[in-house]
Amino acid sequence: MRDFTHNTSLRLSHLLRAAGLVVALLVLTPTTSKAQTWLVSTDAFIKMGVMDKFGQLGNYTARFVVTSQTTGKEYILVKQIEKGQNGVDVIFPSEPSDPDYFKTESGEAAKGTPGRYTWECQVSGKKVVGGRFTFPEVGNDITVVDRR
């Protein structure tokens, strides 16, 4: 009887080890792979600025006006320039979460909508600099990584 019990427990032990190995292999076997998924973001913007080259004005207010040639909307940003600073650069369109951002008189935030724009900077009610720019259509290409 002792041999019978010993053989039975030995077989049971081998069977449990084999079952454990099968379970371990199933757990460690890679699952079916999925294609990589990418998120993409593209923002177009224009940097413009004004500078009192020789610092003759001291403190002054620079009023930037960007006009959409498509809609006719004017987006305005006013910046205070302190003596010694001489000038400032601004980004169009600026984030509405910024304390100062380009917006219409009614408060509508500027967007980087494709199209043609003109801009100018006014100091003491007079145009001191200006120009034009175009925002292009922006497209993004995404490459899908093969499943392996």
Neighbour order of strands in the sheet with 126-135: 74-81, 60-68, 115-123, 126-135
Predicted confidence at residue 97, as pLDDT, reads 87
- Class at the top of the CATH hierarchy for domain 46-135: mainly beta
pLDDT, tens digit (0-9, with 9 covering 90-100), for 87-105: 999 999 988 888 889 999 9
Give first-to-last CA distance, the chain, whole Å.
55
Instruction: Report CA Rg, the chain.
Output: 34
pTM above 0.95, yes or no: no
- Where do the structural domains in the chain lie, given as residue ranges? 46-135
Confidence band of 1 (pLDDT split at 50, 70, 90):
very low
DSSP E strands in 38-93: the ranges are 46-51, 60-68, 74-81, 87-92
pLDDT at 138: 76
